[in-house]
């Protein structure tokens, strides 16, 4: 999008609050007119009130009353302008951030595979602030200072139109300076947005991985990475400031030259009697007052282009396609029958297939174990079920209906996942177990905790189920975090369960408790178990062996051992160890 399209779109975000905009503009107009009126009172003050005129002495109270009334009006209009413009800016930032968060929550998983979380955070925090400078603040300055410009020029035209026309000689120079410098500011602003996003990404990675950084002696390395990006942001900010200062300086030079010429001719006019003393002072004061609105308008060019560069990145997020949710079939509770028909899948532009020719049927209530080396496609296969990814070709059915035919929310309600990488939120224990339920049932929460063998350590916490877990449950052990994840899955009571390496990182004692909790969870559910440790899946109804994205063996534990194939070889290696 070009600058005009971007700015029109920004105005579209502000448009719903047009009543507030009208109040703001009216307040700005009143303030500018009051400033002009106060300036105009200088003429009678100089020409009459300071003379020995008897009439002026008899009406000596009139001018102070006028000044006081205008000052009160200026106070009210200035407060109205500041309050409404600040409210408008905060409101639009609030709206944009909510839109971005809602969009982030609905973007496909592929988008996150290709993006840095730090950069995404920067879009919501830093870039939205920059947009407001382009949207609301720029509009405010343009309106306020444009009105002031008109008021001051009107005063000058009223007193001497010939001298006023001389002021217009600086307009072509100002326009040329704004156009030339604007292109450079826009380019530097884009680079600044990118550098800021990279710096935020490094900060996010370093803080999230601070234990690894300390343990592996990476502090100096991370400091170097951050310092490099931080230095880049500093240099770009300096370039922006230097460009704006040069632009402003050139314009002020043009104003100075024009001012010198006008002062010369105005003095000649006053000496010749063409201007009274009061009119001369009013004209010169108005002309001097013109400098500030002109300076503000030229400076806002830098702010506007910085904001427009930020708008490009923010609107790029808002324009991203969300997950495909064109399904119309409602689904209450699935029976749990799953079928894969000739399913292929590849990640992005990858040449090789992550899954190739998958044909697999899972009966209701059946427990299927997926085994194979890392990269064989086990997790990818499981990720296709809740439609985190879409197959490149082939069809996946749930209860004989293709997955895309279901409403997405209904489909995902059928699955519960317990993985090695447990995600817990900085909230209470109860909120984490009942996550996604707007009205948690504490009886169900407690029952889920008991079934997950988590009740003992929960009740040992200072506030029990109301205890806060900290960021991602940092106050819990690995086994405790896994059992809370299992409790969450039990509370959800989904008919299809996906266990992705749920016990691989646990010690023997924790694994025993977690395995017991998993047995409770798996009852009467269709279950897909992804495991490297073969001892945990020997009792599965069927074991599916995968290699390079293909199913190479399938059967029960005893059958596969008897066949002496890939599974038997994996089993021998693990138990030999």
Per-residue pLDDT tens digits for 74-117: 888 888 888 888 888 888 888 988 898 888 888 888 888 887 77
Q: What is the pTM of this model?
A: 0.74
Instruction: Tell me the three state secondary structure of residue 555.
Output: strand
Q: Contact, 431 vs 475, CB < 8 A?
A: no
How far apart are the two ends of the chain, measured CA to CA in Å? 61
Instruction: Tell me the three state secondary structure of residue 496.
Output: strand
Residue 215 pLDDT > 60, yes or no?
A: no
6 alpha carbon, distance to own chain's centre: 18
Residue 276 pLDDT > 90, yes or no?
A: no
pLDDT at 46: 67
Q: Residue 47 — pLDDT band, cuts 50, 70, 90?
A: low
Query: Per-residue pLDDT averaged across 121-144, rounded?
Result: 78
pLDDT at 381: 93
pLDDT at 364: 92
Q: Residue 176 — pLDDT band, cuts 50, 70, 90?
A: low
Most confident of 2-6, 39-43, 235-239, 503-507: 235-239
Residue 234 pLDDT > 50, yes or no?
A: yes
d(Cα 486, Cα 471) in Å, to the nearest integer?
A: 19
Residue 575 burial (10 A CB sphere; 0-12, 13-18, 19+): exposed
Query: Per-residue pLDDT averaged across 122-127, rounded?
Result: 83
Residue 49 pLDDT > 70, yes or no?
A: no
316 alpha carbon, distance to own chain's centre: 11
Give the torsion sign (CA, 273, 278, 281, 286): negative
d(Cα 191, Cα 188) in Å, to the nearest integer?
A: 5
Higher pLDDT, 472 or 435: 435
Residue 489 pLDDT > 80, yes or no?
A: yes
Residue 235 pLDDT > 60, yes or no?
A: yes
Please, what's the b/e burial string for 344-383 (b: 16 or more CB within 10 A of its CB; e: otherwise)? ebbeeeeeebbbbebebebeebbbbbbbbeeebbbbbbbb
Q: Is 400 left (phi over 0), alpha (psi -120 to 50) or beta?
A: left
Structural domains for the chain? 3-318 (1.20.1560.10), 338-576 (3.40.50.300)
Instruction: Look at residues 383, 321, 389 and name the one whose alpha carbon lies nearest to residue 109.
Output: 389
Q: Residue 54 — pLDDT band, cuts 50, 70, 90?
A: very low
Q: Residue 51 — pLDDT band, cuts 50, 70, 90?
A: low
Length of the chain: 577
Q: Contact, 151 vs 38, CB < 8 A?
A: no
Q: Contact, 433 vs 448, CB < 8 A?
A: yes
Instruction: Tell me the three state secondary structure of residue 113.
Output: helix
- The chain-wide mean pLDDT, for the chain, equals 81
Strand order in the sheet with 496-500: 415-419, 496-500, 526-530, 367-371, 542-547, 550-555
Instruction: Look at residues 193, 134, 175 and name the one whose alpha carbon lies nearest to residue 8.
Output: 134
Q: Residue 550 — pLDDT band, cuts 50, 70, 90?
A: very high
Pairing of strands 496-500, 526-530: parallel
Higher pLDDT, 55 or 153: 153
d(Cα 235, Cα 243) in Å, to the nearest integer?
A: 12
pLDDT at 358: 92
Higher pLDDT, 533 or 359: 359
Instruction: Tell me the three state secondary structure of residue 51.
Output: coil
d(Cα 289, Cα 297) in Å, to the nearest integer?
A: 14
Q: Residue 401 — pLDDT band, cuts 50, 70, 90?
A: very high
Contacts of 244 (CB under 8 A, 6+ apart): 181, 185, 299, 301, 302
- What tokens were used for 246? 């040069």
Higher pLDDT, 203 or 446: 446
CA dihedral 225, 231, 234, 238 (to 10 degrees): -150
pLDDT at 423: 83
Give the other-Cβ count within 10 Å of 267's Cβ. Answer: 13
Contacts of 125 (CB under 8 A, 6+ apart): 200
Residue 399 pLDDT > 60, yes or no?
A: yes
Q: Residue 343 — pLDDT band, cuts 50, 70, 90?
A: very high
pLDDT at 496: 93
Query: Per-residue pLDDT averaged across 457-462, rounded?
Result: 88
- What tokens were used for 265? 């001719």
pLDDT at 55: 47
Percent of the chain with pLDDT over 70: 84
Q: Contact, 489 vs 417, CB < 8 A?
A: yes
Query: Per-residue pLDDT averaged across 196-219, rounded?
Result: 71
Higher pLDDT, 177 or 30: 30
Query: Per-residue pLDDT averaged across 274-302, rounded?
Result: 73
Per-residue pLDDT tens digits for 367-385: 999 998 888 889 899 999 9
Pairing of strands 401-402, 393-398: antiparallel
């Amino acid at each position: 999008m070009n600058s005009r399209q971007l700015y029109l779109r920004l105005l579209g975000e502000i448009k719903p609050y047009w009543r507030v905009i009208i109040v703001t503009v009216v307040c700005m107009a009143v303030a500018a007119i009051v400033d002009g009126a106060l300036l105009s009172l200088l003429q009678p003050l100089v020409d009459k009130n300071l003379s020995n005129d008897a009439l002026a002495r008899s009406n000596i109270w009139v001018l102070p009353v006028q000044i006081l009334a205008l000052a009160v009006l200026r106070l009210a209009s200035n407060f109205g302008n500041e309050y409404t413009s600040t409210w408008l800016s905060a409101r639009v930032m609030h709206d944009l951030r909510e839109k971005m968060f809602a969009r982030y929550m609905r973007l496909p998983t592929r988008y996150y595979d290709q993006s840095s979380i730090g950069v995404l955070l920067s879009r919501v925090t830093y870039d939205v602030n920059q947009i407001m400078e382009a949207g609301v603040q720029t509009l405010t300055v343009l309106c306020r200072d444009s009105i002031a410009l008109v008021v001051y020029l009107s005063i000058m035209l009223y007193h001497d139109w010939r001298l006023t026309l001389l002021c217009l000689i600086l307009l072509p120079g100002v326009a040329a300076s704004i156009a030339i410098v604007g292109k450079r500011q826009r380019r530097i602003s884009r680079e600044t947005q990118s550098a800021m996003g990279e710096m935020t990404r490094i900060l996010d990675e370093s803080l999230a991985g601070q234990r690894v950084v300390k343990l592996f002696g990476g502090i100096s390395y991370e400091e170097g990475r951050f310092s490099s990006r931080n230095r880049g942001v500093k240099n770009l900010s300096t370039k922006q400031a230097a460009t704006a200062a040069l632009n402003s300086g050139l314009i002020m030079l043009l104003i100075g030259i024009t001012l010198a010429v006008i002062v010369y001719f105005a003095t000649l006019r006053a000496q010749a009697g063409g201007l009274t003393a009061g009119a001369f002072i009013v004209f010169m004061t108005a002309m001097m007052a013109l400098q500030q609105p002109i300076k503000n308008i030229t400076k806002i060019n830098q702010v506007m282009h910085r904001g427009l560069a930020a708008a490009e990145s923010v609107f790029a997020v808002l324009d991203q396609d969300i997950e495909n949710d064109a399904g119309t079939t409602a689904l209450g509770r699935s029976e749990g029958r799953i079928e894969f028909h000739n399913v292929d899948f590849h990640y992005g532009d990858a040449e090789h297939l992550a899954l190739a020719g998958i044909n697999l049927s899972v009966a209701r209530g059946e427990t299927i174990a997926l085994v194979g080396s890392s990269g064989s496609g086990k997790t990818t296969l499981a990720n296709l079920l809740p439609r985190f990814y879409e197959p490149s070709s082939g069809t996946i059915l749930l209860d004989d209906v293709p997955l895309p035919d279901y409403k997405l929310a209904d489909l995902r309600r059928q699955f519960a996942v317990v993985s090695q990488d447990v995600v817990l939120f900085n909230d209470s224990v109860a909120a984490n177990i009942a996550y996604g339920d707007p009205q948690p049932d504490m009886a169900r929460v407690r029952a889920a905790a008991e079934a997950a063998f988590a009740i003992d350590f929960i009740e040992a916490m200072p506030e029990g189920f109301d205890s806060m877990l900290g960021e991602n449950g940092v106050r819990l052990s690995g086994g405790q975090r896994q059992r809370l994840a299992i409790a969450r899955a039990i509370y959800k009571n989904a008919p299809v369960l996906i266990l992705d390496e749920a016990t691989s990182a646990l010690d023997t004692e924790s694994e025993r408790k977690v395995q017991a909790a998993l047995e409770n969870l798996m009852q009467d559910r269709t279950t897909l178990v992804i495991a490297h440790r073969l001892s945990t899946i020997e009792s599965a109804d069927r074991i599916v062996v995968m290699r390079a994205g293909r199913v190479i063996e399938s059967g029960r534990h005893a059958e596969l051992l008897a066949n002496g194939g890939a599974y038997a070889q994996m089993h021998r290696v693990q138990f030999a160890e």
